[in-house]
Amino acid sequence: MSNTKRTIFACGAGLLAPFLQHMASLTGKKRPRICLLPTAVADSPAFIETWLTRCGGLDIEPHVQKVFISSYDQKISFEESLLSMDGIVVSGGNTLNMMAIWKAQGIDKILRKAWDQGIVLAGGSAGSLCWFEHGTTDSRPIEITTVDCLGFLEASHCPHYDSEPTRRPLYHNYIRSGTFKPGYACDDYAGIVFEGNTVRQVVSLKEECNAYYVYAENGEVKERILEKVVLK
């Protein structure tokens, strides 16, 4: 039986510098190789520039793996690239499109290998949704809907729990109706560290921001605030 830790750090919004530093500590490496996977923002140059700038003040070695590539430019496989990292950060953006591209390119299976090998996986918004079975997404026109994801974490998920007014009631409706499994919601400045499917730690950048376990009991939706550590 393998003793490899399978770690996922899921945040309510993007990985700000303190969250990135915390993710780096989860790798157990002094200067970890951490790769941004910005598929959900279509490999946006502006997003990548912001990522590299943010990493500049941290003790990490930043990398970027684009998926909008050409065979002429990319000379190693996605698998070789991603499995050489200590951590992989998935950007926010359009979850639905990202999932379709990953499946077409086989990246979904590579990420599963990465998790099984102990590479730390992380992200916020689309970058947290992707690790769960399903969740709430703004990936389609007009309104917030549902999206099916990778299912590494056997639960549902709702990011942006405190900042987007429609998310919480919609998530409650899906939990109440049984459309979603019970699951985890995160305020924008909160994140959950999972080892396997077990909550290992909850961290927050603000005292008022939390992560929650959300479930239905006798037809009523309940929220349990998870004990947290506020990062300084």
Please state, in angstroms and rounded to a whole number, the distance separating the CA atoms of residues 16 and 39: 18
Confidence tier at 205 by pLDDT (50, 70, 90):
very high
Pairing of strands 145-148, 132-137: antiparallel
C-beta of residue 63 within 8 angstroms of C-beta of residue 5:
no
Instruction: Indicate whether 129 pLDDT > 50.
Output: yes
Whether 2 is covered by a domain: the verdict is no
Averaged confidence pLDDT in the chain: 95
Any idea what the CATH number is for the domain that residue 49 is in? 3.40.50.880
Look at the chain and report how many structural domains it folds into: 1
Please state, in angstroms and rounded to a whole number, the distance separating the CA atoms of residues 188 and 78: 30
Please state, in angstroms and rounded to a whole number, the distance separating the CA atoms of residues 112 and 30: 24
Whether 72 is covered by a domain: the verdict is yes
Whether 122 is covered by a domain: the verdict is yes
C-beta of residue 191 within 8 angstroms of C-beta of residue 229:
no
Domain of 145? 7-226
pLDDT score, position 124: 95
Whether 130 is covered by a domain: the verdict is yes
Confidence tier at 2 by pLDDT (50, 70, 90):
low
% pLDDT > 70, the chain: 99
Whether 1 is covered by a domain: the verdict is no
Instruction: Indicate whether 147 pLDDT > 60.
Output: yes
Whether 56 is covered by a domain: the verdict is yes
First to last CA, the chain: 37
How do residues 52-93 score in pLDDT, each as one tens digit? Answer: 999 998 999 999 999 999 999 999 999 999 999 999 999 999
Whether 153 is covered by a domain: the verdict is yes
Among all residues, which ones are annotated catalytic? 125, 160
pLDDT score, position 14: 81
- Three-state SS string across the chain, please? CCCCCCEEEEECCCCCHHHHHHHHHHHCCCCCEEEEECHHHCCCHHHHHHHHHHHCCCCCEEEECCCCCCCCCCCCCHHHHHCCCCEEEECCCCHHHHHHHHHHHCHHHHHHHHHHCCCEEEEECHHHHCCEEEEEECCCCCCCEEEECCCCEEEEEECCCCCCCCHHHHHHHHHHHCCCCCEEEECCCEEEEEECCEEEEEEECCCCCCEEEEEEECCEEEEEECCCEECC
Whether 181 is covered by a domain: the verdict is yes
How do residues 11-62 score in pLDDT, each as one tens digit? Answer: 999 888 999 999 999 999 999 999 999 999 999 999 999 999 999 989 999 9
